[in-house]
Chains A and B, each alone.
Chain A
Amino acid sequence: MGARYGKLMMWFFLLSDALTFSGFLTAYGLMRFKYESTWPIAENVFTHFPGLEGDQPLLYVALMTFILIMSSVTMVLAVNAGEKMNRGAVTNWMLWTIVGGFIFVGSQAWEWYHFIMGDSGAVETARQEILHVYNAEGERLSFSQIVHGMEEGHASNHGETFTKTEVLSSMKGDASLYLKEPGKAGRAFTHAESVAFLEAGDVVQGANMIHNEYGRKQFANFFFFITGFHGFHVFSGVVINFVIFYNVLLGTYERRGHYRMVEKVGLYWHFVDLVWVFVFTFFYLV
Chain B
Amino acid sequence: MVLGIIKPEFLLTQVIGTSILNVVFILLTLVKAGYIVQVFMHVKYEKKAMKYALYLPSLILIPYLTFILLTEGSYLFS
Contact = CB atoms under 8 A, between A and B. Distances in A.
Interface of A: 1-3, 8, 11, 15, 18-19, 22-23, 26-27, 29-30, 33-34, 43, 57-58, 62, 72-73, 75-76, 263, 266-267, 270-271, 273-274, 277-278, 281, 285-286
Chain B interface, >50% SS class: helix
Contacts of B69: 26-27, 29-30
B57 A33 contact: no
A24 to B, nearest CB: 11
Contacts of A75: 40
B44 interface: no
Contact of B41 (A26, A27, A270): A270
Contacts of B73: 30, 33-34
Interface in B20-57: 22, 25-26, 29, 32-33, 36-37, 39-42, 46-47, 49-50, 53-54, 57
Contacts of B39: 76
Contacts of B61: 19, 22
A281 B25 CA distance: 7
Contacts of B53: 1, 11
B76 A34 contact: yes
A105 B70 CA distance: 31
Contacts of A267: 41-42
A278 B57 CA distance: 18
A166 to B, nearest CB: 34
Contacts of A281: 25-26, 29
A278 B77 CA distance: 27
A285 B25 CA distance: 7
A274 B38 CA distance: 12
Interface of B: 1, 4-5, 17-18, 22, 25-26, 29, 32-33, 36-37, 39-42, 46-47, 49-50, 53-54, 57-58, 61-62, 65-66, 69-70, 73-74, 76-77
A271 B65 CA distance: 20
A8 B50 contact: yes
Given A11-B54, A58-B5, A72 B26 contact: no
A127 to B, nearest CB: 15
Contacts of A34: 73-74, 76-77
25 contacts: A1-B47, A1-B53, A3-B47, A11-B54, A18-B62, A22-B66, A26-B66, A26-B69, A30-B69, A33-B17, A33-B73, A33-B74, A34-B76, A43-B4, A62-B1, A72-B36, A73-B40, A75-B40, A266-B41, A274-B33, A277-B32, A277-B33, A281-B29, A286-B18, A286-B26
B72 to A, nearest CB: 8
Nearest to A57: B5
Contacts of A1: 46-47, 49-50, 53
A19 B64 CA distance: 11
A274 B36 contact: yes
Given A15-B57, A19-B58, A281-B29, A3 B46 contact: yes
A22 B53 CA distance: 18
A73 B17 CA distance: 35
B75 to A, nearest CB: 10
A277 B29 contact: yes
